[in-house]
Amino acid sequence: TQLLEQSPQFLSIQEGENLTVYCNSSSVFSSLQWYRQEPGEGPVLLVTVVTGGEVKKLKRLTFQFGDARKDSSLHITAAQPGDTGLYLCAGVNAGGTSYGKLTFGQGTILTVHP
């Protein structure tokens, strides 16, 4: 069974601060996805990273895929109250009997105070 350890589980910060969320595994994934979920709704994809060492930016959010494709990070610069939500990482399995299955991390609940 592949596992994704996501940390921290909770993050409470003030507006304007920076933060980083980590997603680590002992398994290799073909790609890594990050989702954001609002209360009462389903998760929505933010980004997919595919290549080891890849860095993607989405406004104030920076996503990185580890060289070995086992870990990823999400960095938010100058957080705003609108960034509040649940952030989930998910590893995509692309081989054998697990083709197309996703493994999700436990999630990080981010609260940004004005």
Partner 1 sequence: NAGVTQTPKFQVLKTGQSMTLQCAQDMNHEYMSWYRQDPGMGLRLIHYSVGAGITDQGEVPNGYNVSRSTTEDFPLRLLSAAPSQTSVYFCASSSTSEGFEQYFGPGTRLTVT
First-residue to last-residue Cα distance in the chain? 41
DSSP code per residue over 4-57: -EEE-SEEEEETT--EEEEEE-SS--SEEEEEEE-TTS--EEEEEE-STT-EEE
**Residue among 18 and 26 whose Cβ is closer to partner 1:** 26
102 forms part of the interface with partner 1 (CB under 8 A): yes
Among residues 8, 18, 27, 44, which is the contact residue for partner 1, using CB under 8 A?
44
Among residues 12, 101, 111, 113, which is the contact residue for partner 1, using CB under 8 A?
101
Residue numbers at the binding site for partner 1 (CB under 8 A): 1, 4, 6, 9, 31, 33, 35, 40-45, 48, 50, 88, 90, 92, 94, 97, 99-107
